């Protein structure tokens, strides 16, 4: 079997993103490709960077902190267009301070308490931290996030204007895995509709970003309005079990 390089993979995904945009009449620039680099070494991340990728997703504070020196040594933060790393995994509140320091954004905010902690931590770190709220659209217990009808989601959205060190940017979701892509589509559509209704109701907050779609379903997610495709396996190959 011929193994595809990271560069080959990125080129193929770029073609698929452009095709999905074309099918629904969206400009290519309306979607960003995030390379999800968890469980992959700094050398692979630097390879993706060399192919033009500037946005990366990691799901563990410690893992990213450990890789950072090597990424720095590879020049990824000194470039005129430096790399940005978002936290996309479940974040315990006791790791919020470190996460706010090292990540450029937290895309997996799933509680009011976590948002409070990140706000304090961003103040200490002297930055305004972009965040996404993670929404749980299916009842699977393994999924994180706030349900669309959760009282805590409303409380969080009401508190966010007071969290001056956070910059609300939008919503993120992970739908249940389905082999049939059309089974994922209704979840992506629901996130977009939820975004539209929340944006009307909480008009002082920004909901521009819709982070949805992974390796197997990003094309469908883009057709349904994704602005941020989180792609791991299709770029870096299978993750070896930790
Ligand atoms: C691991 C992960 C991804 C990437 O998944 P792939 O199927 O490897 O593309 C995307 N989003 C989140 C939140 C993840 O944890």
Buried b (16+ CB within 10 A) or exposed e, 201-221: ebeebebebbbbbbbebbbbb
Tokens for 175, please give them: 């739908």
- Under 8 Å CB-to-CB from 77, ≥6 apart: which residues? 71, 83
Closest CA to 32 of 4, 9, 57: 57
Query: Can you tell me the distance from the alpha carbon of 188 to that of 194, in angstroms, rounded to the nearest whole number?
Result: 10
Closest CA to 174 of 229, 215, 137, 132: 137
Please tell me the distance between residue 242's alpha carbon and the centre of ligand 1 in angstroms: 15
Given pLDDT bands bounded at 50, 70 and 90, which one contains residue 237?
Answer: very high
For the segment 57-61, the average pLDDT, to the nearest whole number, is 98
Q: Which residue out of 214, 215, 222, 226 has the highest number of ligand 1 atoms within 8 Å of its CB and is therefore the one to mutate?
A: 214
Q: For the segment 76-107, what is each residue's pLDDT rounded down to a tens digit?
A: 999 999 999 999 999 999 999 999 999 999 99
- Tally Cβ neighbours within 10 Å of residue 148: 17
Residue 36 alpha carbon, nearest atom of ligand 1: 4
Residue 216 alpha carbon, nearest atom of ligand 1: 7
Please tell me the distance between residue 162's alpha carbon and the centre of ligand 1 in angstroms: 31
Q: What is the helix (H) or strand (E) element at residue 191, kind and residue range? A: helix 185-201
If you search the block for the tokens 């990366």, which residue do you land on? Answer: 56
**Residue 88, ligand 1, Cβ within 6 A:** yes
| 146 DSSP 8-state letter | B
Q: What is the pLDDT of residue 141?
A: 72
Q: For the segment 146-202, what is each residue's pLDDT rounded down to a tens digit?
A: 999 999 999 999 999 999 999 999 999 999 888 898 999 999 999 999 999 999 999
**Residue 87, ligand 1, Cβ within 6 A:** no
Q: What is the pLDDT of residue 177?
A: 85
| Predicted structure pTM score | 0.96
Please tell me the distance between residue 214's alpha carbon and the centre of ligand 1 in angstroms: 6
- Under 8 Å CB-to-CB from 140, ≥6 apart: which residues? 176
Q: What is the pLDDT of residue 143?
A: 75
Using only the alpha carbons of the chain, give its radius of gyration.
17
Residue 24 main-chain phi, psi, to 5 deg = -115, 10
Q: What is the pLDDT of residue 241?
A: 62
| Least confident span in 125-134, 142-151, 195-204, 218-227 | 142-151
Beta-bridge partners for 85: 56
Query: Is the pLDDT confidence value at 1 over 50?
Result: no
Q: For the segment 22-54, what is each residue's pLDDT rounded down to a tens digit?
A: 999 999 999 999 999 999 999 999 999 999 999
CATH number of 6-233: 3.20.20.10
């Amino acid at each position: 079997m011929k193994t595809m390089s990271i560069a080959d993979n990125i080129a193929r995904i770029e073609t698929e993103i452009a095709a999905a945009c074309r099918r629904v009449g969206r400009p290519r620039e309306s979607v960003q490709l995030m390379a999800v680099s968890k469980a992959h070494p700094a050398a692979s991340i630097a390879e993706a960077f060399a192919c033009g990728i500037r946005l990366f997703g990691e799901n563990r504070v410690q893992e990213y902190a450990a890789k950072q020196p090597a990424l720095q040594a590879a020049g990824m933060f000194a470039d005129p267009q430096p790399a940005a790393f978002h936290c996309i995994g479940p974040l315990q509140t006791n790791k919020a301070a470190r996460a706010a320091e090292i990540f450029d954004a937290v895309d997996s905010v799933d509680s009011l308490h976590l948002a409070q902690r990140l706000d304090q931590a961003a103040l200490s770190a002297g930055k305004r931290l972009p965040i996404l709220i993670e929404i749980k659209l299916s009842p699977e217990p393994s999924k994180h996030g706030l349900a669309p009808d959760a009282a805590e989601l409303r409380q969080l959205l009401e508190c966010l204007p007071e969290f001056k060190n956070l910059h609300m940017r939008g919503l993120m979701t992970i739908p249940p895995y389905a082999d049939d892509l059309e089974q994922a589509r209704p979840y992506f559509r629901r996130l977009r509709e939820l975004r539209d209704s929340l944006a009307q109701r909480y008009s002082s907050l920004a909901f521009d970003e819709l982070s949805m779609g992974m390796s197997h379903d990003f094309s469908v997610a883009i057709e349904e309005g994704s602005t941020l495709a989180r792609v791991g396996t299709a770029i870096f190959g299978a993750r070896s079990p930790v």
